[in-house]
Amino acid sequence: MTKSVVVLVGPTGIGKTGVGIDLAKTFSSVIISADSRQIYKEIPIGTAAPTKDQQSMVQHFMVGTHSIFDYYNAYEFEQDALRLTEELFQSHDVIFMVGGSMMYIDAFCNGIDDLPNVDTQVRNDLMQQLREEGLESIRRQLKQLDPDFYNQVDLKNPKRVIHAVEICIMTGKPYSQLRTNPRKERPFKIIKIGMDMDRSQLYERINTRVLQMMDNGLEKEAENLAQHQHLNALNTVGFKELFACFNGHHSMDKAIELIQRNSRHYAKKQLSWFRRDENIQWFHPSETNSIINYIKNRCKD
């Protein structure tokens, strides 16, 4: 059988974790998480990380491996995941990658630019600038250093804005000139599976999951980390809304409503992104047998 990585993608809340476990058990395999927040050990509830019971069913990698105080990006994920697959292929013909983080999955499948490592002092200086002057200050800096990338980047995403400024400072060149976006060949087959369902059904699942996360202790998890709310790792749906509640900007009921709304918006963004990839074969989460047959046939190709 050809060495293969099955990449299972889809929007938040659709049930990728459960389907991934079923598939990995069928193929006596393991799972590499491709979720940019599940790597942080301090926030398992807010990231809907696989539970201990789920991880006892199938071995998971890249879950709870880092701290919210660590800097981690898509390039580092690419390198770590490639090293993992090389090791895991010694004992498995098929490996599963499960997640919805678009940049992480793209980096693993297609490669990402080999950019220089960022000096710790440069990063610390920019993070201090973010805390003292806000993101707008760093946006203005990016506009001056690289106006082309300034017009392309999501200016509401501090991680992307800060990283671009870091690279500009480190290299003395515009970040946009260093992003060649080469497609890298992988020494294994990549089989992409997408999860989708009726939009109203998906949104109902998302709303219900948010309530379940609150029942599981999300509010307490956020309270314990409120003093670190400036960290990029916590600049994510679920925590942003609760921090705003703790800071007196709205009620807890409103925070829950906003988490549900923003989760639905993120799901829509994920689906739009993944729909552009013609190599993804789409299934409903209930079609496990069809997915298994598809994987077996693709592995024979």
The dihedral region occupied by 96, where left means phi > 0, alpha psi between -120 and 50, and beta the remainder, is beta
Nearby residues of 267 by Cβ (< 8 Å), 6 or more positions away:
11, 12, 13, 14, 202, 203, 206
Rounded Cα distance between 171 and 152, Å, is 20
**301 has pLDDT over 80:** no
Q: Fold match between 4-112+182-300 and 120-178?
A: no
Rounded Cα distance between 133 and 25, Å, is 50
Distances (CA, A) of 105 to 97, 108, 134, 202: 9, 5, 30, 22
Per-residue pLDDT tens for 114-165?
677 777 788 888 888 988 898 999 999 999 999 988 988 888 888 889 988 9
- Residue 231: how many other CB atoms lie within 10 Å: 18
Amino acid 287: pLDDT? 97
Rounded Cα distance between 297 and 301, Å, is 7
**1 has pLDDT over 70:** no
Across the range 183-202, mean pLDDT stands at: 95
How much is the CA Rg of the chain, to the nearest whole Å? 20
| Residue, of 292 and 169, whose pLDDT is higher | 292
The domain segmentation of the chain, as residue ranges, is: 4-112+182-300, 120-178
What CATH number labels 4-112+182-300? 3.40.50.300
Go through 129-160 and write b for each residue having 16 or more CB atoms within 10 A of its CB, e for each that does not: bbeeeebeebbebbeebbeebbeebebeebbb
* Helix/strand/coil percentages in the chain, nearest 5: 55, 10, 35
Indicate the range of 181-190, 196-205, 234-243 predicted with least confidence. Answer: 181-190
Across the range 215-239, mean pLDDT stands at: 94
φ, ψ of residue 135 in degrees (nearest 5): -65, -30
Nearby residues of 4 by Cβ (< 8 Å), 6 or more positions away:
93, 94, 95, 188, 189, 190, 191, 295, 298, 299
φ, ψ of residue 31 in degrees (nearest 5): -125, 130
**275 has pLDDT over 90:** yes
Q: Give the chain's largest Cα–Cα span.
A: 58
Across the range 275-285, mean pLDDT stands at: 96
| CATH architecture under which domain 120-178 falls | Orthogonal Bundle (1.10)
Per-residue pLDDT tens for 4-54?
999 999 999 999 999 999 999 999 999 999 999 999 999 999 999 999 999
Cα 146 to its chain centre, rounded Å, is 26
The pLDDT-based confidence of 73 (bands split at 50, 70, 90) is confident
Rounded Cα distance between 107 and 86, Å, is 16
The pLDDT-based confidence of 208 (bands split at 50, 70, 90) is very high
Per-residue pLDDT tens for 81-125?
999 999 999 999 999 999 999 889 998 999 877 677 777 788 888
Rounded Cα distance between 113 and 118, Å, is 14
